[in-house]
């Protein structure tokens, strides 16, 4: 199905028949993606004495409890409330869900003992393009990202200069295939988070960061129409399902 959409004074033709899901599903398994030193997520039927809420065990319905952490166990979208004393809910801050997005591929650079994404790399990848959202795929980009355990591995991260560059370029929504835009152990500085949300100035309440995405290699770099779907959690972060759509010429 082809839809014609008016977006920022431009008419775009979007192919809605071929959604490109770039989220990582949550599974009750040790093979679920994981970070921040937590155990695997759990999905278990409710139990009341000998009664188990599972059709396979004789119940009329499947009725499961789910234990997980949005930051640690899969694709999630967060607002500035992730790093502020005052409670801010992603469900209250994110009110629009469709954006023009640019998918870029970056090979993190060696810096000391770390691998980082720099301002120079983003400048090269984005050029003079103006986008509401930027989707960063890092390489190597293997299927292992769907089950990687990141705790104590010091994954690549975004330098604060890179976050400032995106902020100053007007990017409102940053999506990345890493567990965090910041260094795993940084003494709580969270430089990239603070820079992107501009917490030292006029805080960008409507800006979001989405982490733990997975962009298959079949999705080429370029411009897409993004549907940033979230679950309506009154929390700083929520599980999310970002979906890309091809824009037709």
Q: What is the dihedral of CA 226, 231, 232, 235, to 10 degrees?
A: -100
Encode pLDDT of 71-94 as tens digits: 999 999 999 999 999 999 999 999
Q: CATH class for domain 2-26+73-248?
A: alpha beta
Omega within 30 of 0 (cis) for the link into 166: no
Encode pLDDT of 156-182 as tens digits: 999 999 999 999 999 999 999 999 999
Q: How many CB atoms lie within 10 A of CB 122?
A: 23
**pLDDT reported for residue 60:** 96
Q: Over 90: is that where the pLDDT of 5 sits?
A: no
User: The sheet that has 109-111: what strands, in order across it?
Assistant: 109-111, 114-117, 157-158
Domain ranges, ordered by start, for the chain:
2-26+73-248
Encode pLDDT of 113-140 as tens digits: 999 999 999 999 999 999 999 999 999 9
pLDDT over 90 percentage in the chain: 95
Distance CA 212, CA 72 (A): 9
Q: Cα–chain-centroid distance for residue 69?
A: 14
Q: Give the pTM.
A: 0.96
Encode pLDDT of 98-111 as tens digits: 999 999 999 999 99
Between the alpha carbon of residue 42 and those of residues 57, 58, 96, 141, 205, the distances in Å are 18, 21, 31, 27, 32
- DSSP annotation of 8: T
Q: Over 80: is that where the pLDDT of 14 sits?
A: yes
Encode pLDDT of 20-47 as tens digits: 999 999 999 999 999 999 999 999 999 9
């Amino acid at each position: 199905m082809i839809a014609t959409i008016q977006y920022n004074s431009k008419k775009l033709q979007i192919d809605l028949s071929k959604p490109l899901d770039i989220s990582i599903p949550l599974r009750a398994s040790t093979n679920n993606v994981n970070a921040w030193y937590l155990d695997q997520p759990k999905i278990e039927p409710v139990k009341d004495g000998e009664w188990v809420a599972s059709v396979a065990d004789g119940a009329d319905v499947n009725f499961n409890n789910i234990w997980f952490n949005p930051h640690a166990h899969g694709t999630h979208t967060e607002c500035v409330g992730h790093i502020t004393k005052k409670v801010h809910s992603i469900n209250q801050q994110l009110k629009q869900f469709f954006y023009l997005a640019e998918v870029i591929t970056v090979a993190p650079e060696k810096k000391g003992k770390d691998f980082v994404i720099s301002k120079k790399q983003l400048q090269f990848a984005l050029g003079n393009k103006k986008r509401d959202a930027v989707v960063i795929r890092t390489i190597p980009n293997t299927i292992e990202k769907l089950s990687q355990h990141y705790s104590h591995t010091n994954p690549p991260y975004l330098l604060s200069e890179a976050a400032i560059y995106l902020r100053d370029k007007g990017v409102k929504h940053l999506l990345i295939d890493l567990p965090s835009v910041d260094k795993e152990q940084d003494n709580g500085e969270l430089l990239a988070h603070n820079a992107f949300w501009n917490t030292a100035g006029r805080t960008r309440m409507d800006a979001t960061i989405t982490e733990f995405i997975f962009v298959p290699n079949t999705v080429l770099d370029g411009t897409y129409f993004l549907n940033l779907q979230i679950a309506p959690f009154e929390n700083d972060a929520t599980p999310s399902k970002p979906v890309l759509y091809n824009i037709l010429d």
